[in-house]
Structure 1
């Protein structure tokens, strides 16, 4: 039996015990490292175990918890995009046994991602992205200070470089966000997890005293960075409740977006209210105290010895303001890494936030697995939802998910074999349940369905997932700028010549395709107005019609009204500004007329 997840698995990287450091109390800079020591190259692979195959299911939201469609999720050489619900699914991905990193990027948002130790089941993650709209514009060649309302600040010297390392001059758009270490959503907002590579090249658990993300873009939107020979001063305000715990000097860590973990680079001094340090480049920066790690697993079973899945395991300490948590998998287990040599308060909560187990565990000085027995989950508000899920051809759905709505509570679950057999917690003692099932591969859905709750089993019967519900247009220009349309798309079919137009937001024509028949296949790009024969026009590219291009469009579906128009395209062209560009993209749009 499967349990639906309301929450998402967070790896146990528990940085719960504060310690003091004794270093120079001058303002630190990221200068030369000791001979033979390099901390700028990610090299923790030796700790990640062998290559394995794992599956992932997750949600990407903004800082208001609204779903973000069209986010590119990358892990290794595999990728997926979030759908209209902000959901993504990656099946049978090649990754490490003890470490996986899912990178999340989208136009209009600061790139982030999630790291975790994957289990053999479907690993569930939640990623929260910052908007890049909170910006300040400064000028190169001038010293400038950018300050956030909470006191976080960056002082720029005025020297910048582009992606090739060449000097950049012009306007600089600065996007800055501060991550409060006491924010209950910090595990979702921060990139990776609290895990990093220290200055000796060893793995370390981290306890954060604050994070700042900084993204710099030039006048045409290109990513730039500060000149490493002209460091910037960065100030991290510390919450007042942490003043007595804050070390006088603390290591600084930058996030490596390719490796998926933090790397120690320099240190910062506590001035009584904030940490102040110097950095030579920008991404996410973090003030963290490091700890030696051990591998840790906990198994939760009931009094009959049966595993309890989807309960929240929480570890905390009186010596730290924070806590870390994980969700048990179908085997009742959750694993990760914890600081060695410390004891922890352990509590276990069910889906309705009721504590079902408490104890003190540790200390652990070597890799450890413990087993605990919790009471059998018998509550009036627990029931099973069962059913069979098929596609339009009455075949079992093997890559789908379900969203259950119980009042204001939203739960997600995966479907891998056409069977739905899940445990739900009706914490509000409701009479009705709403749900919708989505096929990730086809973007079809079941539509919203309402049923009466019957305890202990609510039988949903056979559910057919065959209704077009989502549409999108996505393309990437020259490997950098990604455009994604997911709303207000209208597909027009032409009854005379069976061509079509696709409009976004009313008058904006994205595609124009003319054909004397509906033959699926490859077509070339054309900007002429005579429309004799086959013509394809993509307005957004602003192609110069006087210059040659190699654009090719592959029409793979042209449905009836209410069905899909599908198109893939790629090639090179010259735009109206005389710039040579390349593009790859695809479109899946419901035909409305």
Structure 2
């Protein structure tokens, strides 16, 4: 979906919801550990309920991330080739749901939401776990980003088991600008917290900082007991006028999915500086009293108005936007006892039209309101279209776990399939180019897809049908094998990627059905010959299961790669490898194997 690029939050409120057709209003990226906390505010979460979730996970460039582990409660799935995950009937709470995303090479990510009825669509952006700088134990050093974000380290570190660590320390540092619209997708959880008195609070962020420390063998590290570090974040110029001289510090608790107050920072010029005793995702925030606001939007025919932006502004704490779900609903926490405003935008499909700003509130307790009779700003160029239909597989059996993507005017909408049925509402342009639309279906369980269909909008409802979703994944274009002391694995793969880099190439593969299995290799040259895992420009990783995985950035290693073939386009690249590495249990492992992928560039 298109985003209104000019809707940059003045201050990031805690208006986050379960939609990006249905997420931004709901509103474990800690790094190494979070302090234990008694989740006192969990008593406010309400009763246990079941809800459906359809989400996408992407990197900071917007590219979908495959094979991300997604966890909601006891349910665990992996993202598909589109970066999509589906969990139906997930167990959450009436006022709180927590979605975790994990992938090797990235900082753990998450999203906390206030679940809505219908399908909760969630968007998560994962931050790369790259090395900003290295330091040594026993060395006092400050690691900085170009924008002034920094962490000052005293040099004393421990492993997860509390054992002292001596050696090289890799530091990963990410700053999130409170005024940047992408922050709401990159931050963990939502802006919802437990303060020092155990009370729930909404947060208005002035900036965030993620810090991760990794040992030379890939160990997660943290600050030694009794030591501290100083963290600094720059404050956006647009926020300085509202920046208090002192502000509470909050860390994200990965176990429970909310922020916890721990210390304070002071404003020094245009930067906040604070002291912390452990590393996590840290947040510099103003706490506010909050209520839960549910907004239902209806059009002139009293039908739910889906897929439109609703911007909620507060008297003192800026604004945030959300997108209505398939039921025309958004839910989230807003400041209590403050005059509020709302404004409706129409996604910028043809024009960046909006309706006039309207006043609501103030509210002293949880509130549900209906916005009725909402009209398009110009019905001569925009139209609301309802699309519904059925999705069946090869044996004409309804698809239980899948989704449909509908494309119109360069915008796609994803609709969850429940018991073979789906429905969604979109806004389209009334011009000759956009009379038709395209659509196809994905069977999430098998990876099979349908053909791409085209349809024409009809009034009042467009009925479509997707049958025989029997297109199998492409024939294998690659193969890899790996042999360890206690496991041997080999398989054909049809999910292979070969990309050039300035000097060499990268090749990546994974198994379609058992998507735990994957392997990635970067070599610094296309020249046939022998390379070592410690050579500059070499990167190697594999993941077989939770106890058999490797990444050359985080483990000691000595692995030799022999580039045997580098064919022309549509011919094979052949690599064999053998060597040793030190695993997460500090044990030396021997590894051998092959990679064979058809060259695509």
Q: Could you tell me whether the CA contact under 8 Å between 1:6 and 1:411 is conserved in 2?
A: no
Rounded Cα–Cα distance in structure 2 between residues aligned with 1:474 and 1:234:
44
Q: What residue number does 1:415 align with?
A: 417
Contact residue 106 and residue 127 of structure 2 kept, 8 A:
yes
Q: Does the alignment pair 1:438 with 2:447?
A: no
Q: For 1:426-505, list aligned pairs within 5 A.
A: 426-427=428-429, 429=431, 430-431=433-434, 432-451=436-455, 458-469=462-473, 486-488=495-497
Could you report, residue by residue, the CA deviation over 1:202-249 in whole angstroms, capped at 9, with x for unpaired residues?
A: 000000000011111110112111114110000111112222210000
Which of 104, 129, 138 does residue 141 from structure 1 map onto? 138
Shift of 1:446: 1.0
* Bigger radius of gyration among the two: 1
Which residue pairs with 1:264 in the alignment?
A: 261
| Contact 1:154–1:233 (Cα < 8 Å) also in 2 | yes
- Cα pair 1:12 1:338 within 8 Å, conserved: no
Are 1:382 and 2:384 matched, yes or no? yes
Report the counterpart of residue 354 of structure 1 in structure 2.
Answer: 353
* 1:151-190 paired onto structure 2 within 5 Å: 151-190=148-187
| 1:503-538 per-position Cα deviation (integer Å, ceiling 9, x unaligned) | 98899xxxxxxxxxxxxxxxxxxxxxxxxxxxxx99
What's the counterpart of residue 115 of structure 1? 112
How far apart in 1 are the matches of 2:296 and 2:581? 62
Secondary structure at 2:130's aligned position in 1?
coil
**SS, match of residue 238 in structure 2:** helix
In the alignment, structure 1 residue 77 sits paired with structure 2 residue 74: yes
1:576-591 to structure 2, matched below 5 A, reads none
- CA deviations over 1:126-156 (Å, ceiling 9, x no partner): 0011111242111111001100010001000
Higher mean C-alpha deviation, range 466-475 or range 54-63: 466-475
Q: Distance in 2 between matches of 1:216 and 1:506?
A: 24
* C-alpha distance in 2 between matches for 1:491 and 1:198: 44
Measure, in 1, the Cα distance between the counterparts of 2:481 and 2:343: 45
Q: Deviations over 1:11-33 (max 9, x none)?
A: 356xxxxxxxxxxxxxxxxxxxx
Q: Is the CA contact 1:135–1:176 (under 8 Å) kept in the aligned structure 2?
A: yes
Aligned counterpart, 1:338: 334
Closer, same or farther: CA 224–451 of 1 in aligned 2, 3 Å: same
Question: Does the residue aligned with 2:357 lie in a helix, a strand or coil?
Answer: strand
Q: CA deviation at 1:469?
A: 2.9
Three-state SS of the structure 2 residue aligned to 1:444 is coil
1:314 to 308, 311, 322: 311
1:365 counterpart residue number: 364
- Contact residue 196 and residue 262 of structure 1 kept, 8 A: yes
Q: What residue number does 2:325 align with?
A: 329
**Are residues 576 and 216 of structure 1, via their aligned partners in 2, closer, same or farther at CA, if it must alter by over 3 Å?**
closer
Q: Is 1:39–1:200's contact at 8 Å kept on the other side of the alignment?
A: no
Aligned partner of 1:97 among 79, 94, 97: 94
Write the deviation string for residues 388-419 of structure 1: whole angstroms up to 9, x where unpaired: 31111111112111222324322211111323
Distance 1:262 1:72 in 2: 22
Change (3 A) 1:421 1:196: closer
The runs of 5 or more residues in structure 1 that have no matched partner are 14-37, 479-483, 493-501, 508-536, 543-574, 583-589
CA 1:302 to 1:7, structure 2 compared with 1: closer, same or farther past 3 Å?
closer
Q: 1:357·1:374 contact (CA, 8 Å) conserved in 2?
A: no
Q: How many residues are matched? A: 481
| 1:12–1:324 CA contact under 8 A, matched in 2 | no
Shift of the 490–224 alpha-carbon distance from structure 1 to 2, 3 Å rule, reads: closer
Tell me the TM-score normalised to structure 1 length: 0.73
Structure 2 unaligned spans of 5+: 1-18, 28-34, 486-490, 498-507, 512-517, 524-543, 551-579, 590-596
Structure 1, 219-228 or 242-251: larger mean CA deviation: 219-228
Residues 53-68 of structure 1: pairs in structure 2 closer than 5 A: 53-68=50-65
Aligned-pair distance for 1:427?
Answer: 3.6
SS of the residue corresponding to residue 241 of structure 1 reads coil
Deviations 1:533-552 (A, max 9, x none): xxxx99x879xxxxxxxxxx
